[in-house]
Amino acid sequence: MKIKYLATLISAAIALSCYGSSSEPVSLPRPEYPRPQFERKDWTNLNGEWSYTFDFGKSGKEHGYSESTGFQNSIIVPFCPESTLSGVGHTDFINAMWYHRNLSIPEDWDGKKVLLNFGGVDYRAEVFINGKSLFTHYGGGASFAVDLTDALKYGENNDLVVYVEDDVKSWQQPLGKQSRRLNSYACFYTRVTGIWQTVWLEAVDQHALKQCRITPDLDGNQFVFEPKFYNVDGSSKFNIKIKDGNKVVCEKTTPASNSSFITAEIKKAKTWSPEDPFLYDIEFSVINKNGETIDKVNSYAGMRKSELRNGVFYLNNKPYYQRLVLDQGYYPDGQWTAPTDEQLKRDIELGKAAGFNGARLHQKVFEPRYFYWADKLGYLTWGESASWGMNWTDKVAARNMLAEWHECIDRDYNVTSLIAWSPLNETWIKDVDGQRDRLTNDLYFMTKNLDRTRPVVASSGGHHAGFTDIYAEHIYVQDPVALYNQLSLNSNGKPWIHHPKESAEYKGECYMIDEFGGIQWNKKMDAPEVATEDAFWGYGQAPQSLDEYYKRLEEQVNVILSLDHIAGFCYTQIVDVELEKNGIYTYDRSPKFDVERINRIFSKPREQARAEVEQMLSTRKEVSQATK
Per-residue pLDDT tens over the stretch 480-537: 999 999 999 999 999 999 999 999 999 999 999 999 999 999 876 545 555 555 678 8
Same domain, 164 and 265: no
Helix, strand, coil percentages (3-state) for the chain, rounded to 5, are 20, 30, 45
User: Given this model, what pLDDT does residue 466 score?
Assistant: 87
CA angle, 202 as apex, 198 and 203 as ends, to 5°? 170
Torsion of CA 474, 478, 481, 483, to 10 degrees: -10
Q: Are 114 and 83 in contact (CB under 8 A)?
A: no
Sign for the pseudo-dihedral over CA of 350, 352, 356, 360? positive
Q: Are 324 and 356 in contact (CB under 8 A)?
A: yes
Per-residue pLDDT tens for 307-325? Answer: 999 999 999 999 999 999 9
Same domain, 219 and 350: no
Half-sphere exposure of 487 (CA within 13 A, CB side): 32
Q: Are 434 and 465 in contact (CB under 8 A)?
A: no
Same domain, 255 and 117: no
The count of structural domains within the chain is: 3
Same domain, 289 and 340: no
Same domain, 20 and 169: yes
Mean pLDDT of the chain: 93
Output phi, psi for 455, to 5 deg: -65, 155
State mean pLDDT over 399-407: 97
Per-residue pLDDT tens for 2-47? Answer: 433 344 443 444 343 333 333 344 479 999 999 999 999 999 999 9
Instruction: Answer yes or no: is 27 within a domain.
Output: yes
CATH of the domain at 373: 3.20.20.80
Domain end, chosen from 204, 224, 243, is at 204
Half-sphere exposure of 569 (CA within 13 A, CB side): 26
The Cα 397–Cα 389 span in angstroms is 10
Full domain range(s) for residue 19: 3-204
Same domain, 156 and 251: no
Domain end, chosen from 260, 283, 301, is at 301
Same domain, 222 and 193: no
Instruction: Answer yes or no: is 24 within a domain.
Output: yes
Higher pLDDT, 489 or 466: 489
Same domain, 446 and 484: yes
Sign for the pseudo-dihedral over CA of 164, 168, 169, 175? positive
Same domain, 112 and 235: no
Instruction: Answer yes or no: is 209 within a domain.
Output: no
Q: How many CB atoms lie within 10 A of CB 233?
A: 11
User: Given this model, what pLDDT does residue 458 score?
Assistant: 95
Kindly list the strands in the beta sheet with 144-147, ordered across the sheet, starting from the edge strand earlier in the chain: 44-45, 199-204, 113-118, 144-147
pLDDT over 90 at 275, yes or no: yes
Same domain, 294 and 311: no
Per-residue pLDDT tens for 555-601? Answer: 999 999 999 999 999 999 999 999 999 999 999 999 999 999 999 99
Same domain, 293 and 310: no
The Cα 515–Cα 474 span in angstroms is 5
CATH of the domain at 226: 2.60.40.10
User: Given this model, what pLDDT does residue 433 score?
Assistant: 86
User: Given this model, what pLDDT does residue 495 score?
Assistant: 97
Instruction: Answer yes or no: is 534 within a domain.
Output: yes
Give the pairing of strands 510-517 and 568-572.
parallel
Domain end, chosen from 150, 177, 204, is at 204
Q: What is the DSSP string of 159-226?
A: EEEEEEE--TTSSSS--TTB-SSSS-BTTBB----EE-S-EEEEEE-TT-EEEEEEEEETTTTEEEEE
Instruction: Answer yes or no: is 334 within a domain.
Output: yes
The Cα 538–Cα 552 span in angstroms is 14
Instruction: Answer yes or no: is 572 within a domain.
Output: yes
Instruction: Answer yes or no: is 459 within a domain.
Output: yes
Same domain, 351 and 479: yes
Instruction: Answer yes or no: is 150 within a domain.
Output: yes
Predicted confidence band at 421 (pLDDT cuts at 50, 70, 90)?
Answer: very high
